[in-house]
Amino acid sequence: MHRRAAETREHILQVAHELFYWQGIRATGVDKVAATAEVAPTTLYRLFDSKDDLVAAYIARADAHYREWFTAATIADGRHPRDRILSLFDALDKQVQPPLCRGCPFLMTLAEFPDSTLPAHQIAVATKAWVRSQLVLLVVDLATTTRIDDPAALADQLALVVEGVYASVAALGADGPARHARALAEILLPPAASTRPATRRKAPRTRVTR
């Protein structure tokens, strides 16, 4: 089957994702990726300079897909900001169900590549930073309608819940502590009826003449 270079690259990355995610990055050699993708090693190395380059491309692709998923789950479509935040946890619950998930690919990459100078490590860190920034934006949006004393702290708490889901699901499954994530988010978020009180205007003083 003849593919253009761009199609071959995407095909290899799809295969690399299945192997790296489910079997481990360091445990999977480039030759295995090439054989599973049914391409010659020379073809693979023509598209990716090294395994580090292939791993970086794999995690960059995962990053792009994750951002699309997160954005779709929290899209500003007229819903109340609180509902948009909770919809993230609804989507997260579906995402981590077996057999779709064995954990977070970004956390796994950071564990396998602790060297902060490597592109794969840097991309994984950037993904986590982006998620945190999006949670901050969501909470700031919520703060326009609901009293929140410390939006940044609330965003960090929500980020910890998200990370806790990914950290626990690999060992304890989606039916373990991860199943309580949405309920915990609801506890952290101000109640829906807790709207910001309107500013009272003082009634003008009437002058009494004697």
Band (pLDDT 50/70/90 cuts) for residue 192 is: confident
Measure the CA–CA gap between 23 and 19, rounded to whole angstroms.
5
pLDDT of 5 above 60: yes
pLDDT of 209 above 80: no
163 with 127: CB under 8 angstroms? no
- The length of the chain is 210
Q: What is the pLDDT of residues 37-74, one digit of tens each?
A: 999 999 999 999 999 999 999 999 999 999 999 999 99
The pLDDT value given to residue 198? 39
pLDDT of 178 above 60: yes
The pLDDT value given to residue 200? 41
Measure the CA–CA gap between 36 and 28, rounded to whole angstroms.
11
What are the angstrom distances between the C-alpha of 83 and each of 17, 72, 106? 32, 13, 26
Measure the CA–CA gap between 156 and 159, rounded to whole angstroms.
5
Across the strands, what pairs with 123?
A: none
CA atoms in the 13 A half-sphere facing the CB of 181: 30
- Looking up tokens 């700031």, which residue turns up? 140
Share above pLDDT 90 across residues of the chain, in percent, rounded to a whole number: 87
From 66, 79, 86, 67, select the one nearest 158 (Cα to Cα).
86
The pLDDT value given to residue 73? 98
Q: What is the pLDDT of residues 140-175, one digit of tens each?
A: 999 999 999 999 999 999 999 999 999 999 899 999
Q: Average of pLDDT values for 95-109?
A: 94
**Is 210 strand, coil or helix?**
coil
Share above pLDDT 70 across residues of the chain, in percent, rounded to a whole number: 90
The pLDDT value given to residue 159? 98
Domain locations along the chain: 1-48, 51-188
The pLDDT value given to residue 201? 41
pLDDT of 205 above 60: no
CB atoms within 10 A of CB 67: 14
Mean pLDDT of the chain: 91
Band (pLDDT 50/70/90 cuts) for residue 193 is: low
Domain 1-48 falls in which CATH fold?
Arc Repressor Mutant, subunit A (1.10.10)
Measure the CA–CA gap between 18 and 57, rounded to whole angstroms.
14
**Please, what sign has the CA dihedral across residues 22, 24, 27, 30?**
positive
Domain 51-188 falls in which CATH fold?
Tetracycline Repressor; domain 2 (1.10.357)
Greater pLDDT, 81 or 100:
81
Band (pLDDT 50/70/90 cuts) for residue 100 is: confident
Residues 6 or more apart whose CB falls under 8 angstroms from that of 105 comprise 20, 21, 59, 62
H helices present in the chain, as ranges: 5-23, 30-37, 41-47, 51-73, 81-95, 105-112, 119-142, 151-172, 181-188
